Amino acid sequence: MKWSEKLKISELKDKYSKQRIITIADALDPVDSELVYSSLNDVTEGNIWYQALRGNPHYINKSDVSNTHDFHYRFDKFPLSNITIKKLLGVTADSKRADFRAVMKYGDSPEKELPSFHPLSKLGSFLNSDECYSLFTEITGHKFTKNSTVSFLSRYMAGDYLSTHDDSDPKNERVLTFILSLNKTWEHHWGGQTLIFNKKNTDSVTDCIIPSYNTLTIFDVPLLHCVLPVSNFSQAPRYAISGWIHKSPRI
């Protein structure tokens, strides 16, 4: 995996210094982005985990319906790092593992995991690589520690959404959010747009990011945003690779 050779780093750096958020078109090398896009169908009901409200995951069950008033989001989430039985046995609620917490208390392990040569696994490794950190550092000015990235594939189906939040965490560890959009044929009326709210007046929107293909959005944490519900008329899932880079390494 590698970034596109056509990125204009100086322009991106200048824009980011003023706005602390940027959207980069054609971010990944075109060959790599096509490999990742073509591999999305490999993520099936047999290996997707569902991320519940409080951060505790359980095996996905489409028949589950939440009736709680504080159900803040609903979408399918699949971490890009494999979770082996050995890893599961070593995870506790106090672990730094940010993609799976208190995992032994909920459900079953995935039916299958991605091999290391799978494009999604390779992308997960790339997002923890020196090449990735080098680009993000050059654009944002932040310095990052190796293995400090947590990344996952999100799949929004009809009715799925993510309510208003700022990506901050209790320990103030998250530094940078990234979202790689992977949607080739998205229509505007299908919904799923990411809204960025004004820092000084949260009743106004400063950016509306439409699902697109091979487009990378990065911004400093915290920043108030949400993902609008995907329309019932949508003819395709809304896919994105998302995550955070932290101050310290993740397990």
pLDDT band at 67 (very low <50, low <70, confident <90, very high): very low
Question: Which range, 87-96, 139-148, 177-186, has the best average confidence (pLDDT)?
Answer: 177-186
Entry pTM:
0.81
Q: Please check whether residue 16 is in contact with residue 202, taking contact to mean a CB–CB distance below 8 angstroms.
A: no
Q: What is the pLDDT of residue 146?
A: 87
pLDDT band at 160 (very low <50, low <70, confident <90, very high): confident
Which residue's entry shows tokens 């100086």?
10
| Beta-carbon contacts of residue 32 (< 8 Å; ≥ 6 apart) | 1, 2, 119, 123
Higher pLDDT, 206 or 147: 206
Higher pLDDT, 68 or 217: 217
The CA distance from 96 to 114, in Å, is: 22
Q: What is the pLDDT of residue 33?
A: 98
Cβ neighbour number for residue 13 with a 10 Å cutoff: 14
Domains of the chain: 9-45+72-81+116-246 (2.60.120.620)
Q: What is the pLDDT of residue 21?
A: 96
The answer, yes or no, to whether residue 240 has pLDDT greater than 60, is: yes
Please give the average per-residue pLDDT across 83-103, as a whole number.
42
Mean model confidence pLDDT for the chain: 80
Q: What is the pLDDT of residue 103?
A: 33
Please give the average per-residue pLDDT across 90-104, as a whole number.
39
Q: Could you tell me which residues are beta bridge partners of residue 28?
A: 3
Collapsed DSSP state (helix, strand, coil) of residue 123:
helix
